[in-house]
Amino acid sequence: MSITSRPPLYDDLDYLGAASGYVEEVYAVISKGPLFEHFSLKEIEALCQYMHCFAASRDRVLLNEGVEGDYLLIVLSGRVSVRKLNPKGEVVAITTVGPGMSLGEMSLIDGERRFASCVTVEPTDFAVMTRADLNEILLTHPRLANKLLIKLMQVLVSRLRETGNLLLSNYLNPVL
């Protein structure tokens, strides 16, 4: 049973139900990813009460660059391509992520426009956690919410460091 109602998202996708109905499956997948690797089954079970699962076919846009958002996705199965428009207006694939990986963390935190687009490259199941869900977790499970927020910051800082190193490498060794 989910504590929160289905978010008003992805009306065009198959709604699989509350993540609380898939706790063991969700745990098996996301406990291997960087965001949830140090979470216990009991902690994932508590988080699943605030998440909802969806299924998308291949070539479905899950997040659109430039569109406002306030939720993150956790890939449960399948693969998702992360794509960004370059200064010339061309779409460039940044990376592809699979099960256990999260997407949309920045918008969950700041509610700003999406940094990149995320498109399924094969049929994909995913869970959604909204900012409203995160706020409920903060109220009802403050220790768990604190752990989640610290892990979110660690994931975001790691990505920022990788990007900074890449930019510095390209700056110091320009391609001519």
Number of Cβ within a 10 Å radius of residue 90:
8
Q: Which of 123, 130, 80 has its CA nearest to residue 105?
A: 130
- Tell me which amino acid residue 54 is: F
Query: How far is residue 10's CA from residue 110's CA, in Å, rounded to a whole number?
Result: 21
Give CA angle at 87 (84, 89), nearest 5°: 65
Q: What pLDDT, in 10s, does the model give residues 116-156?
A: 999 999 999 999 999 999 999 999 999 999 999 999 999 88
Which pLDDT score is estimated for 129?
95
Which pLDDT score is estimated for 116?
94
Q: What pLDDT, in 10s, does the model give residues 13-62?
A: 999 999 999 999 999 999 988 899 999 999 999 999 999 999 999 999 99
| Helix (H) or strand (E) run with residue 159 in it | helix 142-172
Name the pLDDT band for 3 (thresholds 50, 70, 90). Answer: confident
Which pLDDT score is estimated for 164?
77
Q: What pLDDT, in 10s, does the model give residues 56-96?
A: 999 999 999 999 999 999 999 999 999 999 889 899 999 99
| DSSP states of 90-141 | -EEEEEEE-TT-EE-HHHHHH--B-SSEEEESS-EEEEEEEHHHHHHHHHH-
